[in-house]
Every structure is written in structure tokens, then in C-alpha cells.
Structure 1
Amino acid sequence: MFQISSLLSLKGKVFLVTGGNTGIGYLTCLHLAGNGARVYLGARSEEKATEAISKIKGTYPTANLHFLPIDHNSLKTVVAAAKTFVSKESQLHGLILNAGVAGLPYEVTGDGFEIHMQINYIAHWLLAHHLMPVLLSTARNEGPGSVRIVCVASNANNLFGTKKILYEVDEVKNAGNFNRYGLSKLANILHAKNLNDKYGPESRNSKDGKGEIWSASLHPGFIDTQINRKALHWSQKWVTNLLVLLGIMKPLGDGAVRAIIFAAASPDFTGEISGVFLSERAEVDEPNPIARDVKERQRLEGWTEEKMRSGGWI
């Protein structure tokens, strides 16, 4: 089993981690920066990001970390974040799409999308789209395996009755809070597979010498990340606290980012497994059967691109 302690030096590498100020994102930034990488910490709050950076530097005084403002609830800030990044950097080796919410009541964002789907999936799709030129440029210059995109999903993609991506407003509204979360996590998995189809080892892009990018989605574990505790109903909080007490839900620790670090930076992650879904042990696992449905993947990709174009975000 992959151990984070076995990670080689990442000096000279550049990473961007969304939701990097807390939880899984924070630990990801900690380990990447601690191994010498230059890390951009994407977050909505500059105050919280600065606090996280200071805390990491308390452990690694020479850590090279930078705050990148981004609010997934507002797609124009996602576009702006990508523009800010490419104005500062000419290379990007790892994009960790981690930021997320869970269990929120039904809400449509100002951009017109269900809140889980926008924050967990659409904003990440848009960020990856706008960063693709620098990702591909880095991949062409440094070769296969030098550039990775990691989509942090969840086993929730297989729970809560998640049988397909829902596109109709009424279907989404009636799905239930955690089913809507599961739908967004399924979308993360399909996103990683679509990225592999477009840019992975067997892609036309790679064969034409335009750049090869490896991707993966993963389940970080059944972890108490404190995600949206304030948004939970008292009964949900009670169940969560009980699961923690019984040891079923584990406290946040290095195990929660094992698969992320493996996919993003380990030489043991190879092109042969690009596009896969990983367990929290950083081992290839089986996600929702829908992930194997190429037509479903293509439908989601087409729907997302059409919505982004019609909204003027791409």
C-alpha cells in the first residue's frame, strides 16, 4: 500500500488545490508543500487561506504556498482564478479538484445550477477547462505522467439511490439532499474518465503529440471532515457524531489524502491506470456502474460544455 512518507521530492513542481484551507484540501497542501512543491491554495476566504498557509509554514518554514481566490458558488470567480493563475505561472503539474459541499437543502445558485452540482462538479470542470492550455503545455514539455488531474469524489456516488445523472430541474429538486450530493460525486468520476478519454495515454491528443495528461477520481474514506456541519439537521448531526464515536467515521488524518497524493504525485501511479477510481487505500476500485457507460459520460460532457458556452463562461 502506498505510503505518503515514500513520496519523492517535488521541488520544481507546481500544484493547485481547491478547497485547500481546510480538511482534506489542507492536508493535501501540507504534504505537497512539505515535499518541496509550489502550491496554490484555492479558497473563498483570504483570511482562512492565510491562516492555513501560516499553519503549514509552522511545520515547514520554507513551504512555498500562495492564496488563489476562488468561490465555486460564483462561476465568474472560477474563470478569474484561472486567469490569475496563468498570469503568474507557465506550468502546472497537478490540479487537485477537491472543494465540495454536502447535505445542503435544495438551492439554485445565482448561475442557475443546483448548488451541489455547481460547487462540486461544474466549477471544477470550468477550472480545468480554462487551465487546460497550461496543463497541456507542461505535459508536452515534460512528457507523459508529468501532469495529473485528480477529482476528489466519494463512495456516495453509489449510495442514496444514485442511478443516473439528473438534468431536469424537478428531478433534481425531488432527489433529496444527500442524493444530490451523490449525483455530484458521480459527475466527478465521469469527469475524470472524460479527461482520460480526451487527454490520457490512449487519446488522440496524446498520439498526436499535443500532450498527455493522467487523471483519476477517488474516495478519500469515510472521514469526518466537518464538511457543512452547520448545514446539517440536528438528526443528521446526531448520526454523524454517533458514527464518529463508534469509529465507523474516522477522524481526519493522513489516510484521508493517501489516494490524492498517490494519484497527484507518486511515480507508482502509472498511465495504465489513468482514468480509474481509487479507494482510500490508493487501490483501483469499482465505482457506480454508470461510470462504465460511455454514452452517459459523453452526455454529461456535452451538457456541461453547452451550459458553459450558453452562460458565457467559456
Structure 2
Amino acid sequence: MDLETVRTFVTAADAGQFQEAAAELAVSQQAVSKRVAALERELGVRLFTRTPRGAEPTIDGQAFLPHARELLRVADRAALSVRVGRRPLRVDVINLRGAASGLMRDFHRLHPDVELDVLKLFGIDEAVAALRSGTIDATFRAVGAPGHPLPADIASVRVFDEPLQLLTGPGHALASARSVSLPELAGHRIWMPGIAPGTEWAAYYDDLVAQFGLTIESTGPNFGSDALLDTIADTPALATFMSEQTRLVWPTGHGLRRIPVTGPVPVYPHSLLWHRDNPHPALAGLRAHLAALPQAPEAPDGTWVPPWTPSS
């Protein structure tokens, strides 16, 4: 149903004259008549009766009028939901418990007037498609992975590096270590069931394995972080990588250990991506907030990122 014809009908019904409706809509009286006639043909009924005083809704017109008003209200709400400056800033993060999610909480605390929607998409290709369609305004992703080129209309800037730690149960051979180097992890089974082949984070761990001779297993279904923690706690032969900034809570009896990884420190490189033509007013504020973040102190043994990671 053409909303312009519906809006014209409601305006004419309220005005009582096609001439006054035309003036309010800034169109000709002939245009009002044509729109009303088109709506009458679509509905198969007459909506107005001509009178000496102008035009009055027929019985069918009176029946249709409240529904027409509701159609216009729904249309206005729909437009308002996506109108720049009137809708939330929609930001995608790779992990709702990770560092990017924490940064968005900090941003919201400092900018409570900015309405936010924080969501989690599957991979960088899905996130880039959402940026280009306008479904989201920004995303935190590792960029540069082979097979995942960025289109020219997508901008990116590297904003922070997220250090990884080793998570073990109390019976693991490395559970008492104060730190562990990447070369020392060779020969130990690292279980990460959330790795999905073909994603940018899978490319990250593929390169980590190739450079340091690690064994990372992604077999078995991914039942979520709680099930992962249960398995790591109960299986001395298994460990997993976890961001040092990931917020985790586990039962006291698990006795899990978070062990820093060194020599060098593996970090996951997060970049902020956005569409170059995105006009959302809060996007510039988010970018400025991230640009002002204090730089993490340099690790004594340096950090490791895949060779395809851009420097900025």
C-alpha cells in the first residue's frame, strides 16, 4: 500500500476539503484527487462523499481512517529507528566477555547519553557485509588475514592488542608455573573448540601453530565457556588460550590457573572497522575514545602477531 496515498487520505479526512489538504501537503488539488482515487481503486471502495462543504469520509472511509492513522504511525516509528542520530550506535564485538566488550562498557560509562547496541557476529566477512548494508556502525576485528580483504569503502585502524594467557586445571604439568614461553608450549595439547575454519581468528591460530610448533585442537562441539572451563579443570592433559582481559567466573573447586605467556607475548590485534560514509554522530566519538586509550607497556620479550597484521 502506497503510504503517500494513505497520508493524503488522512490529511483530507482531517481537513474536510481536498483544497486544504493540498495546501498542507504542498501539492495540487488535482494530485490529492488522484491519490485518493488510486487508494479507492486499491481498496475497492469509495472513501469520500462530495458535499457542498467539501468532502466527508464515507462509512468505509470512517472504518479505514483509524487503521490509516496506525499505518502512518508505524511507518514513522520505522523511519525513526534507523534515522541517523535517533537510533543506537550498533557495534559488533568478537566476544561479549572480551576486551572489546569491556571497552564499550567504558565508552558507555563516559558517554551515557549515547545509546548503544552491542552484538556479536560470526566472522569478519559477515561483519563487513553488515557494515556495508548499514546493519552495524562499527566492528572490532583482526584485519589482513588471507582470504579476507577489506573493500575500499571500509576504513580500519588498529586500536588495541589483547594478550593471551594459558588457562589450565590444577593437575596440569604447567599449573604451578609463574609464566610459560611459547616454545615451552610445544608438545602440550591446547584445546579450543570455538575455532571455526575459514574465520580470521582461525587464521590467527594457524599462524601461531606454524611458527611455534604448537598443538591446538578444535575437535568436539562448542558448548560455551562454562563447559570449556569444566573440561579444562577436570582434564590434566588439556589447556586452552584465554585473553587476560576475558572475564571469567568458575566454581571454587575448579582451581583453574591463568598463566601469562611470554617469549614473545601472543596478542590478538583488534582493529576498529567502519564504513567510510557512515554518518552516525556517535561514531566519531567512539573513534576519539579509542584513539585516546593509553598504550600498554612494551613486553620485555616483545609481542607476536601474524605477519599479515597491519601496523596501524
Greater gyration radius: 2
Q: Which has the higher helix share?
A: 1
TM-score interval, normalised by the smaller of the two chains: under 0.3
* TM-score normalised over the length of structure 1: 0.25
- After TM superposition, the score normalised by the length of structure 2 is 0.25
User: RCO (CA 8 Å, sep 6+): is it higher in 1 or 2?
Assistant: 2
Greater strand fraction, Structure 1 or Structure 2 = 2
